[in-house]
Amino acid sequence: MIIDRIPTSGFVDGKKELMIFRLFFCYSNIFKLFLSFTHEVVSLRRILSNFIKESIMETIIELSNVSKIYKMGDVDVPALQHVDIVIKRGDFVALMGPSGSGKSTGMNMIGSLDIPTEGVISLAGQNIAHLGESALAVLRGKKIGFIFQGFNLITNLTALDNVMLPMIFQGVSKYDREERARNLLKKVGLEKRADHYPSQLSGGEMQRVAIARALANDPGVILADEPTGNLDSKRGEEIMHLLQELNNQGKTIIMVTHDQLLAEKHAKTIYHLKDGEVINVQQTSRRKKK
Ligand SMILES: Nc1ncnc2c1ncn2[C@@H]1O[C@H](COP(=O)(O)OP(=O)(O)OP(=O)(O)O)[C@@H](O)[C@H]1O
Ligand SMILES: [Mg+2]
């Protein structure tokens, strides 16, 4: 419409200013249209690239229709019921729910520490139901680092020896084990505590040794069951900062927590469990921000 009102051949005498004004009006509208089009294209590109990224992100652990029923004499205790969980490389997943809802059982399944009564667990595309215990142990040792709620450090070993321990089972030489363990203790800010025993460390320090130990074989996946459960809020934040950094570096983190705020701040996906069932899968703002 605007273009129709612009003469196609030169300026008309005496109407030069009006013509310039019309031209300016016309081009500014075209420019605005161009800007809004560019904006739309940029938004569309962002949406598309996020979609493509999400779709091609490799699934590294998948629980399909997994149930776990413990037999207690004649009584069946259904700890997990028909659970589906998909974990992609680089994800940060939180498992939440009341006590007894199946979080630790779920973690044990994700970490292939236990086998399901029903359903399929795939680790890096491999159905682990077909693997024997020793093959499973090797796979776990290489691919998964565990951080347990109660730290689970070996009390009669120093911090350094605790961190070196998982590397023995992967056949790493003593020299390399020690060098790597010292580097990991440095990474968690404990290089000066290498020769201390767990009883000589604070709760936060023991948890950091546990993180260094979980990183010993450079696993792609870290499972942390209530990593801040035994710590005060300041130490808890330090531990979460460490986990967040590891996630930013590309490690996949799966964490059990009772703390909704903590989960929303750090995780991208939260699985809410109740009575062994997944009742909600929440995508947090960390996922949406990407
Ligand atoms: N080895 C076992 N034998 C029998 N029942 C078990 C066993 N382990 C767990 N359970 C039962 O399975 C259910 C889920 O337990 P789980 O430890 O997974 O819960 P949770 O969500 O981790 O709880 P919490 O927050 O208290 O740690 C509970 O009812 C528990 O009593
Ligand atoms: Mg538990």
In this structure, the answer to whether residues 162 and 270 fall within a common structural domain is yes
Domain membership of residue 116 (yes or no) is no
Whether 143 is covered by a domain: the verdict is yes
> Do 25 and 97 belong to one domain?
no
Cα→Cα distances 124→24, 127, 140, Å: 61, 9, 11
* Distance (Å) from CA 188 to ligand 1 centroid: 31
Ion ligand 2 — residues with CB under 5 Å? 104
- The dihedral built from the CA positions of residue 241, 245, 246 and 252, taken in this order, carries a sign that is positive
Q: Same domain, yes or no, for 102 and 246?
A: yes
Is the domain of 6 the same as that of 107?
Answer: no
Is residue 76, in this structure, part of any structural domain at all?
no
> What is the pLDDT at residue 31?
77
Stated as kind and residue range, the H or E segment containing 23 is: helix 16-56
Answer yes or no: is 126 within a domain: no
What CATH code is carried by the domain that includes residue 198?
3.40.50.300
Same domain, 142 and 250: yes
For residue 247, the CA-to-ligand 2 centroid distance in Å is 23
Judge whether 69 lies within some domain: no
> Mutation test of ligand 1: which of 63, 72, 105, 272 has the most ligand atoms closer than 8 Å to its C-beta?
105
Question: DSSP E strands: which ranges in the chain?
Answer: 59-72, 75-88, 92-96, 118-123, 126-127, 144-147, 221-225, 252-256, 269-274, 277-283
Same domain, 106 and 241: yes
- What is the model's pLDDT at position 279? 97
Residues 188, 46 share a domain: no
Residue 199 belongs to some domain of the structure: yes
The boundaries of the domain holding residue 49 are 2-53
Alpha-carbon distance of 275 to 265, in angstroms, equals: 25
Cβ neighbours around 109 below 10 Å, total: 25
**Within this chain, do residues 147 and 255 fall inside the same structural domain, yes or no?**
yes
Q: Please choose, from the candidates 108, 222, 213, the residue with its C-alpha nearest in 3D space to the C-alpha of residue 167.
A: 213
For the chain, percent helix, then strand, then coil, each to nearest 5? 45, 25, 30
pLDDT at 52: 63
Task: For residue 119, tell me if it sits in a domain.
Answer: no
User: How many CB atoms sit inside 10 A of residue 136's CB?
Assistant: 15
10-residue averages of pLDDT along the chain (290 residues)? 49 68 78 76 70 70 94 92 95 95 93 90 81 81 85 94 92 95 92 96 91 92 89 82 92 93 93 97 77
pTM summary value: 0.77
Residue 84 lies in a domain: no
Same domain, residue pair 226 and 168? yes
- Total number of domains constituting the chain: 2
Q: What is the pLDDT of residue 153?
A: 95
Question: Do 136 and 213 reside in the same domain of the chain?
Answer: yes
149 and 284 both lie in a single domain: yes
Tell whether 136 and 18 lie within a shared domain.
no
Residue nearest to atom 12 of ligand 1 (CA): 79
Nearest ligand, CA 225:
2
